[in-house]
């Protein structure tokens, strides 16, 4: 028995840094590079292929936090431009899509922190939890400043600003360190607990009952975490946290992953694709905080599986890809879209199953 990779009908438009999920037996993927478009695929009616759902009503966004709850798709924060003349900012709004009426609605609450790049999932019906996320003030201030410097006419100044920003220590970025929860009925935010591990962005997230596993992700721009962490929720404001075996223990040259596809197949956690910089871990250990300076981003095609005791390299997908939408349902994992090594949004899709 092993993981089987098969092609799945491609999306009608490349989707990277987008959102998605499964509602009933229908897959959803969109936003991000697809702008305000949202697509759906009814697994019970494959002859219809991918179809278009209602367009997102407000500011187009990348890297939003998202999850499905009570058969509706929730989307929070992300980065977007409030006008054509302005640089991107971390957004603080939230929306919910109801497929029964094919309609988006804006939530009446704002996010308490920036959830750009955060990982979210439903812990129980109507209760969502969030890990990580960029600091709005830090992100907005830097983008506003560097957008005023033309890299073509003032390349040295532009490079100096970027180098200064990337050379900061981990804690200087102020990423969200709290584990937040959102009650969808009351539209109420509260802190569950402080995350004892460094805050992640772009981490893989998998829920199993009252347990949530985070797989790697970034700890600062360009530097990946090497840790797999598990959070056991005992009550609304009580949890325990522990480290699980890491992928690095199975491959000592592993650089960590961000933007990878993450899900479940045959009761095993799967981590596929993702992106990293070869040499960034070594540079950071040598005290080089701009750990990916001069390095080329690598797009991974390996597929890892965690059997509860250790990670195993299971197989590989046809191409290195990151920042797509991963969905697990009916003991199958769907890898939808993403970004390839050329930086372009991909429409290609794959399935992983246990055969």
Residue 250, classified by CB atoms within 10 Å of its CB into exposed (0-12), middle (13-18) or buried (19+), is: middle
Give the residues across from 46 on adjacent strands: none
Strands 261-265 and 268-272: antiparallel
Q: List C-alpha distances in Å: 215 to 40, 53, 201, 263, 324.
A: 27, 31, 11, 10, 16
DSSP class of residue 317? -
Catalytic residue among 122, 216, 218, 339: 218
Picking from 56, 89, 90, 88, the residue whose alpha carbon sits closest to that of residue 75 is 56
Give me the half-sphere count of Cα atoms (radius 13 Å) on the Cβ side of residue 230. Answer: 16
Active site residue 218: yes
Q: What are the C-alpha distances in Å from 49 to residues 5, 20, 26, 53, 350?
A: 20, 16, 11, 13, 14
Question: What's the gap between Cα 286 and its chain centre?
Answer: 28
Spatial neighbors of 241 by CB under 8 A, at least 6 apart, are 195, 196, 197, 229, 230, 231, 232
Is the CB of residue 300 less than 8 Å from the CB of residue 275? yes
345: three-class secondary structure by DSSP: strand
Instruction: Say if residues 323 and 336 touch (Cβ distance below 8 Å).
Output: no
Give catalytic residue positions: 218
């Amino acid at each position: 028995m092993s993981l089987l990779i098969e092609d799945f009908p491609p999306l009608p438009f490349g989707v990277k840094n987008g959102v998605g999920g499964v509602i009933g037996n229908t897959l959803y993927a969109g936003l991000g590079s697809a702008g305000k478009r949202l697509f759906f695929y009814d697994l019970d009616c494959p002859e219809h292929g991918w179809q278009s759902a209602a367009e997102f009503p407000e500011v187009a966004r990348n890297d939003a936090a998202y999850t499905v709850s009570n058969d509706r798709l929730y989307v929070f924060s992300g980065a977007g431009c409030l006008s054509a003349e302005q640089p991107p900012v971390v957004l603080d709004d939230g929306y919910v899509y109801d497929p029964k009426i094919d309609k988006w609605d804006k939530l009446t609450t704002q996010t308490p922190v920036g959830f750009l790049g955060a990982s979210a999932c439903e812990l129980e019906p109507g209760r969502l939890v969030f890990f990580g996320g960029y600091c709005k003030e830090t992100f907005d201030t830097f983008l506003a400043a560097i957008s005023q410097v033309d890299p073509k006419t003032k390349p040295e100044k532009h490079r100096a600003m970027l180098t200064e920003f990337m050379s900061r220590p981990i804690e200087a970025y102020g990423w969200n360190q709290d584990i937040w929860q959102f009650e969808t009925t009351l539209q109420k935010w509260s802190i569950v607990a402080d995350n004892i591990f460094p805050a992640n962005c772009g981490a893989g997230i998998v829920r199993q009952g009252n347990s949530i596993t985070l797989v790697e992700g970034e700890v600062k721009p360009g530097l990946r975490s090497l840790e797999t962490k598990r959070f056991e929720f005992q009550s609304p404001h009580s949890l325990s946290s522990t480290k699980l075996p890491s992928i690095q223990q199975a491959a000592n040259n592993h650089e960590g992953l961000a933007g990878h596809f993450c899900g479940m197949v045959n009761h095993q956690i799967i981590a596929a694709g993702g992106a990293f910089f070869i040499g960034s871990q070594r540079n950071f250990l040598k005290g080089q905080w701009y750990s990916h300076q001069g390095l080329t981003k690598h797009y991974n095609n390996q597929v890892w599986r965690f059997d509860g005791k250790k990670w195993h390299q299971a197989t590989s997908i046809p191409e290195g890809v990151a920042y797509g939408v991963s969905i697990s349902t009916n003991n199958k994992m769907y890898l939808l879209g993403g970004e390839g090594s050329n930086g372009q949004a991909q429409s290609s899709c794959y399935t992983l199953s246990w055969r």
